[in-house]
């Protein structure tokens, strides 16, 4: 079947954003008067929990500190504001190969989508920072944030994106950087290309259609994309 849609995760997949996220969390903590500081090691562990509010709640449970759901939502909103401010200051670039693949897809009439647990505001901030336009000017469909009750590794956000695209998993390809993301995409029936990020390099990517260091040598519309194992089924 002809490939009709590419679906991308955001954090770690389109760009190495996690260090900006970590810095934004710590900034929000300081501004709230909280004596929390997420080191790289702590954040690496917390990334196994999908969703920023969920990570804050997990940290409260771990430390014994109490924040209400409203307090957590406010803290996360302040973190998002700090993150988007850093983005606006130009502190981000796309990972190798991403922009080329997006351009090739557009030239072929292949639809583009986002399926992410990060907020819509963060997706917009990234688009403004790297393309100078809105996310809707780049992607046909954006499934983001709290649109679904169950976040990755649940497949719900990918299923939402597929419904909005109006395509079956058989004619789409997903791009991820983490085990949770891979499991979510596979659960939605999608072939998945994984490009591990700084924080996910040691994770298990069994079941991926391909695992590559980045997308620089990947050609989505070739029968034998660079880096794909010989036993993998080719794309159309």
Q: Which two tokens stand for residue 99?
A: 């922009």
Active site residue 11: yes
> How far apart, in Å, are the Cα atoms of 63 and each of 22, 33, 50, 58, 72?
18, 16, 19, 9, 15
- The whole-angstrom separation of Cα 82 and Cα 79 is 5
Active-site hit among 9, 99, 177, 214: 9
Q: Choose among 115, 138, 117: nearest CA to 126.
A: 138
The string over 90-105, giving b where at least 16 C-beta atoms fall within 10 Å of a residue's C-beta and e elsewhere, is eebebbebbbebbeeb
Q: What is the DSSP letter of 14?
A: T
For the annotated catalytic residues, the residue numbers are 9, 11
């Amino acid at each position: 079947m002809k490939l009709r849609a590419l679906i991308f995760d955001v954090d770690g997949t389109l760009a190495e954003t996690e260090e900006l996220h970590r810095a934004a969390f710590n900034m929000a903590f300081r501004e709230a008067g909280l004596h929390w500081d997420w080191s790289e090691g702590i954040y690496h562990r917390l990334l196994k929990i999908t969703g920023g509010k969920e990570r804050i709640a997990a940290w409260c449970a771990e430390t014994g500190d109490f924040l209400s759901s409203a307090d957590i939502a406010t803290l996360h909103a302040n973190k998002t504001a700090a993150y988007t401010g850093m983005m606006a200051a130009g502190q981000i670039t796309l990972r190798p190969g991403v922009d080329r693949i997006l351009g090739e897809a557009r030239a072929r009439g292949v639809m583009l989508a986002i399926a992410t647990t990060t907020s819509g505001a963060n997706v917009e901030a990234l688009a403004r920072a790297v393309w100078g336009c809105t996310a809707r000017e780049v992607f046909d469909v954006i499934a983001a944030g709290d649109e679904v009750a169950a976040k990755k590794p649940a497949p719900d956000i990918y299923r939402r994106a597929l419904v909005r695209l109006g395509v079956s998993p058989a004619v789409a390809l997903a791009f991820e950087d983490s085990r949770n993301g891979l499991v979510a995409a596979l659960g939605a029936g999608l072939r998945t290309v994984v490009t591990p990020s700084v924080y996910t390099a040691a994770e298990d990517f069994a079941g991926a259609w391909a695992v590559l260091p980045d997308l620089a040598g990947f050609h989505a519309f070739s029968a034998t994309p660079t880096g794909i194992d010989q036993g993998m089924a080719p794309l159309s």
